[in-house]
Amino acid sequence: MKKTWLVVLFFLALFPLAAGTITYVYRGSLSSIDLENPKRGNVYTSENGNIFTVSKVHNGAAMLDRIYTKTAPRKGDVITRRGPLHTLEAVTTVKDAGVRYSISSFLYPFRPVAEGGYSFYFKVPYVMGGLAIDLPLSKLVRSGFTIFEDASVQAHVTAGVLFTKTNCFAVRWGISYKLAINKFILSAGFSRSYFVRKNYDARYSGLTLSAGVRL
């Protein structure tokens, strides 16, 4: 057991955690000037459970967007780099339902998205892939209310196929309000879907609901 801990401590010494502090807080703006080699899309957590993403880096200063905040960020808060954020959601629209996966990356505020599910309209499964973009409301609205501080407007565009006898090309775009509650995510919005195959096409639009977790 002692040998195991020694090995762990040895690797921690070789690869120290990339940590720094929040050095500037003004309304919805946060930044840090002492992070080691920060890059767009890097994710950081604070000791009190807040989660931030680097939105851009200018002259060594990292501008931070809030992803989720348990408490109000303060100057001097220690933040530590972690791995990318993985999001898994159950999604339902007017005529289909599925599971959507996305991951944070250097493309921030864009995220790669993959989705698979079942179309009640065509009675066949489908797969799609594309991009989603998030705009944190804390950058637009200064408020102590969670519905603004830990929320964002999300837009997405995906394309894929339905597995019919003659494969059908599918495109979907949408916009929604997304709220983070700890690791859980709830969203509601509007989407429009297009399905095209030889000599036939269909389209529908309406309410989109989703619920999931962020890991």
CATH number of the domain at 157, please. Answer: 2.40.160
Who's near 113: CB < 8 A, 6+ residues apart?
A: 100, 101, 102, 128, 129, 130, 131, 132, 156, 158
Q: Which of 55, 82, 109 is the last residue of a domain?
A: 82
Break the chain down into helix, strand, coil percent, rounded to 5.
10, 60, 30
Are 122 and 96 contained in the same domain? yes
Structural domain harbouring 120: 86-214
Residue ranges of alpha helices (H) inside the chain are 2-14, 146-149
Are 97 and 121 contained in the same domain? yes
Tell me the CA distances in angstroms from 95 to 83, 90, 154, 204, one per residue in order: 35, 14, 21, 8
Are 25 and 113 contained in the same domain? no
Q: Please state the separation of Cα 87 from the chain's center in Å.
A: 6
Are 68 and 29 contained in the same domain? yes
Give the pLDDT of the chain (215 residues) as one tens digit per residue. Answer: 555 544 444 444 434 456 899 998 877 789 999 998 999 999 999 988 899 999 999 988 999 998 888 888 899 999 999 999 999 999 999 889 999 999 999 999 999 999 999 988 888 899 999 999 998 887 777 666 667 778 899 999 999 988 877 778 889 999 999 998 888 999 999 999 988 877 777 888 999 999 999 98
Residue 199: Cβ-neighbour burial (10 angstroms; 0-12, 13-18, 19+): exposed
* pTM value surpassing 0.95: no
